[in-house]
């Protein structure tokens, strides 16, 4: 009895350990998405480049997933999991390295390196020479460009290593436990695993919300501090700190895996004390699992003849030769192909939303990066998890077959599409920005008001926005507003900065530092509520779509079909979607920052165009998913009609039965 309990708690501990490890891994991969806009500002990246950076996580993962599946039963799986986790931790440390090899962040580039920020360099002073982006102050030296390329390259390498290290963690962890757990106890372990890992993305956004409240150079704060607040568009949070914390969590969770044996004795006893508590939530999982002890000799012989099942006994060359044939055979299943295409559309929507929704909320509603991450991690992701649970419960409680699963998927996709329609109208146009025309594609630059700032010599690439609240006009710098004086007022524990004697402002000012607030910031909660509701409705389709895949292919092809499904999702959705969304966002930019003659980060967007294109991409992918599920339902109905026709044709009628009985009684009278 004690040996049985010890074996159970050993497996339970390993399942919890596997869940914690996957949670920490998802925190690292999700944390980049929570801080994507901050990294753009810190290193002068466009949204297309940052989207490509986020997609590189899938490059290393996709290139090795097939080989890992092949070698799964031939290696020491716990040690491989530990090695993969160590690689993930190193990738997290490497992601934070650019902070330490870069110069301290200068949020005001209008003066030389030794000039105090936010002071005379931003003001309208006739004696100040004009500063161009490629001036002789040495800011565009070869060393600067090499350092920028090095920093970006380090992050791309780190993302690739993050994908490579994550390859063995989930498949090896699941197979290792399930190989040695009792078949009836497997749902408990699976339930623990998925319950823990589903919290990973939410915790990543929560961690991002906390870290981005801290100033980026908190480890090397200048004397006297900084006058920025998190609402200032130049604010950059401590994005690197979250990678260090997540990497430490991965390293701690990985250490026990190096002490587990290669194999453990098979669990021989079923646990009864938890059955009633988890049967309702996990029995749908146990139904799709195939127990090898219950297979008939005929099924065993079929599996031996099936290339997908004997792949583990083949050499690498033989496996490569067999795989394309099995892949084509699987893709010829219409149900499998259509369901995977629908999931590709849905995953494309999720990938784009997860990567750029925080940035969209920041720009559209003038909220801080910390608040945007808090909304997503505390509302959107939990409602998506609820949607997955509701979909699983409906499949279990209602005993849904393929036809009803397809109907549920169609209904969920339709409702998610309807809910996304109001998002096109929840927003407002950008406020007036002096000298900038809201027309994407025009050359960046500033067109000052005629005459008001003629005595000033303003920097072309400066960015220190000030706002005239009375007129609702924003100026790129105090110099472009014609301001010649600065006033700092102490307000509790923070200082408020104002600029006065502004020749371009009615009455001479003063104007406050920072961008003007959005006129529709109160709409951020209705917007995120509708996004969360749409995410929950779309998530309802997750489990029934998975069941359609399992029931749409041959029994012996299920394992390979699931592997092909995840591979296609990575290649067709998770890799290209962030780049597509980032490119669409870049097309709405109306004023780019310049760094050594190249486009860097975007300062201002056409908010109406940004909303229409961002929400329009979500609407497009949801429509594609809806069309695919409608085709799935059509194919299933056609298959049911064909089966009914065959059944009717094969069953004899009453007259045919009498004739056949007569022929049986008088075989000699059969000739005419």
- Report the CATH number at residue 159: 1.20.1250.20
- At residue 448, the pLDDT reads 43
What CA–CA distance (Å, rounded) separates 221 from 88? 30
What CA–CA distance (Å, rounded) separates 606 from 617? 17
Q: Are strands 598-605 and 589-595 parallel, antiparallel or unpaired?
A: antiparallel
Q: Domain check: are 384 and 496 in the same one?
A: no
Q: Domain check: are 155 and 66 in the same one?
A: yes
What one-character DSSP code corresponds to residue 599? E
What one-character DSSP code corresponds to residue 379? I
Ramachandran quadrant class, 102 (left: phi over 0; alpha: psi -120 to 50; beta: rest): beta
Q: Answer yes or no: are the C-beta atoms of 426 and 608 closer than 8 Å.
A: no
Q: Answer yes or no: are the C-beta atoms of 211 and 30 closer than 8 Å.
A: no
Q: Domain check: are 501 and 527 in the same one?
A: no
Q: How far is CA 64 from CA 58, 160, 165, 166, in A?
A: 10, 11, 10, 10
What pTM did the predictor assign? 0.81
- At residue 580, the pLDDT reads 95
What one-character DSSP code corresponds to residue 666? -
Q: Domain check: are 170 and 239 in the same one?
A: yes
What CA–CA distance (Å, rounded) separates 527 from 2? 55
The order of strands in the sheet holding 432-433 is 432-433, 473-475, 466-468, 511-513, 494-500, 485-491
What CA–CA distance (Å, rounded) separates 310 from 328? 17
Q: Domain check: are 342 and 463 in the same one?
A: no
Q: Domain check: are 339 and 414 in the same one?
A: yes
- At residue 302, the pLDDT reads 42
- At residue 308, the pLDDT reads 42
Q: Domain check: are 362 and 235 in the same one?
A: yes
Assigned domain for 117 exists: no
Assigned domain for 566 exists: yes
Across 72-97, b (16+ Cβ under 10 Å) vs e yields: beeebbbbbbbbbbbbbbbbbbbbbb
What CA–CA distance (Å, rounded) separates 413 from 403? 16
- At residue 400, the pLDDT reads 83
Listed in sequence order, the residues at least 6 apart from 637 whose beta carbon sits closer than 8 Å to its beta carbon are: 403
Would you report the helix, strand and coil content of the chain in percent, each value rounded to 5?
Answer: 65, 5, 30
Q: Domain check: are 473 and 416 in the same one?
A: no
Assigned domain for 370 exists: yes
Average pLDDT per consecutive 10 residues, the chain (672 residues; last block may be shorter): 48 56 83 92 92 88 68 69 89 94 76 48 62 46 80 93 83 59 51 64 91 90 77 90 92 82 56 42 42 41 43 60 73 86 93 94 92 93 88 83 90 95 90 71 46 74 84 85 81 74 81 85 94 93 84 67 80 93 94 81 91 95 95 89 79 55 46 32
Structural domain count of the chain: 2
- At residue 68, the pLDDT reads 67
For residue 176, give the nearest of 268, 77, 91 by alpha carbon.
77
Token pair in block for residue 220: 């090397």
Q: Domain check: are 478 and 540 in the same one?
A: no
Assigned domain for 75 exists: yes
Q: Are strands 473-475 and 432-433 parallel, antiparallel or unpaired?
A: parallel
Q: Domain check: are 505 and 527 in the same one?
A: no
Q: The domain containing residue 482 runs over which residues?
A: 455-513
What one-character DSSP code corresponds to residue 256? G
Assigned domain for 78 exists: yes
Given 513, 530, 548, the domain boundary residue is 513
Assigned domain for 296 exists: no
Q: Answer yes or no: are the C-beta atoms of 180 and 263 closer than 8 Å.
A: yes
Q: Domain check: are 398 and 476 in the same one?
A: no
Q: Answer yes or no: are the C-beta atoms of 332 and 554 closer than 8 Å.
A: no
By CB atoms closer than 10 A (0-12, 13-18, 19+), residue 262 is exposed
Assigned domain for 319 exists: no
Q: Domain check: are 402 and 459 in the same one?
A: no
Task: Please state the φ and ψ torsions of residue 261, each to the nearest 5 degrees.
Answer: -70, 165
What one-character DSSP code corresponds to residue 412? H
- At residue 81, the pLDDT reads 83
Q: Answer yes or no: are the C-beta atoms of 293 and 183 closer than 8 Å.
A: yes
Assigned domain for 280 exists: no
Token pair in block for residue 5: 């309990």
């Amino acid at each position: 009895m004690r040996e049985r309990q010890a074996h159970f708690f050993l497996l339970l501990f390993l399942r919890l350990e596997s869940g914690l490890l996957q949670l920490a891994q998802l925190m690292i991969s999700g944390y980049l998405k929570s801080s994507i806009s901050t990294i753009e500002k810190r290193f002068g990246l466009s949204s297309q480049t940052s989207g490509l950076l986020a997609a590189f996580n899938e490059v290393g993962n996709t290139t090795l997933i097939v080989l890992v599946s092949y070698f799964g039963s031939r290696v020491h799986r716990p040690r491989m999991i530990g090695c993969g986790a160590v690689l993930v931790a190193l990738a997290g440390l490497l992601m934070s390295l650019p902070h330490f090899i870069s110069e301290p962040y200068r949020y005001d580039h209008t003066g030389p390196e030794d000039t105090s920020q936010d002071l005379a360099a931003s003001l309208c002073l006739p004696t100040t020479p004009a500063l161009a982006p490629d001036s002789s102050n040495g800011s565009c030296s070869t060393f600067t460009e090499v350092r920028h390329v090095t920093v970006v390259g380090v992050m791309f390498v780190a993302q690739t290593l993050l994908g490579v290290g994550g390859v063995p963690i989930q498949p090896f962890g699941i197979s290792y436990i399930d190989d040695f757990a009792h078949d009836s106890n497997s749902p408990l372990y699976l339930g623990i695993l998925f319950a823990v890992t589903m919290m990973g993305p939410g915790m990543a956004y929560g961690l991002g919300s906390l870290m981005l409240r801290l100033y980026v150079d908190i480890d090397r704060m200048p004397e006297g501090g900084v006058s920025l607040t998190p609402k200032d568009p130049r604010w950059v949070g401590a994005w690197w700190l979250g990678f260090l914390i997540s990497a430490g969590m991965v390293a701690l969770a990985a250490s026990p895996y190096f002490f587990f044996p290669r194999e453990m004795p098979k669990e021989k006893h079923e646990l009864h004390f938890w059955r009633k508590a988890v049967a309702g939530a996990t029995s749908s999982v146990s139904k799709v699992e195939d127990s090898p002890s219950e297979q008939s000799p005929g099924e065993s012989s079929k599996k031996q003849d099936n290339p997908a099942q004997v792949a583990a006994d083949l050499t690498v060359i033989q496996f490569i030769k067999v795989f394309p044939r099995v892949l084509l055979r699987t893709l010829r299943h219409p149900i499998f192909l259509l369901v995977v295409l629908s999931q590709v559309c849905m995953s494309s929507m999720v990938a784009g939303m997860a990567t750029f929704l925080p940035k969209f909320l920041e720009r559209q509603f003038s909220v801080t990066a910390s608040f945007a991450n808090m909304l997503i991690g505390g509302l959107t992701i939990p409602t998506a998890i609820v949607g997955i649970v509701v979909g699983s419960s409906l499949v279990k409680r209602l005993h849904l077959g393929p036809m009803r699963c397809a109907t549920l998927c169609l209904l969920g996709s339709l409702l998610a599409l309807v809910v996304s329609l109001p998002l096109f109208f929840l927003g407002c146009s950008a406020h007036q920005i002096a000298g900038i025309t809201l027309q994407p594609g025009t050359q960046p630059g500033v067109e000052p008001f005629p005459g008001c700032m003629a005595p000033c010599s303003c920097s072309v690439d400066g960015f220190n926005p000030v706002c005239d609240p009375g007129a609702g006009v924003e100026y790129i710098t105090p110099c472009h507003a014609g301001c010649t004086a600065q006033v700092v007022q102490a307000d509790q524990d923070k200082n408020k900065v104002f600029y006065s004697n502004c020749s371009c402002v009615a009455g001479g000012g003063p104007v406050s530092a920072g961008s003007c607030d959005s006129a529709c910031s109160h709409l951020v909660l209705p917007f995120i509520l509708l996004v969360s509701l749409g995410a929950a409705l779309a998530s309802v389709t997750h489990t029934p779509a998975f069941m359609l895949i399992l029931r749409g292919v041959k029994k012996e092809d299920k394992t390979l079909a699931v592997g092909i499904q995840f591979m296609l999702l990575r290649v067709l959705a998770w890799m290209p979607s962030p780049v597509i969304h980032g490119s669409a966002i870049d097309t709405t930019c109306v004023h780019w920052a310049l760094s050594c003659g190249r486009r860097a980060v975007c300062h201002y967007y056409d908010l109406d165009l940004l909303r229409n294109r961002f929400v329009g991409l979500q609407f497009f992918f949801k429509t594609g998913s809806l069309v695919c599920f409608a085709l799935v339902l059509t194919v299933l109905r056609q298959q049911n009609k064909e089966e009914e026709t065959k059944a009717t044709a094969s069953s004899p009628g009453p007259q045919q039965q009498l004739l056949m009985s007569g022929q049986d009684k008088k075989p000699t009278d059969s000739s005419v």
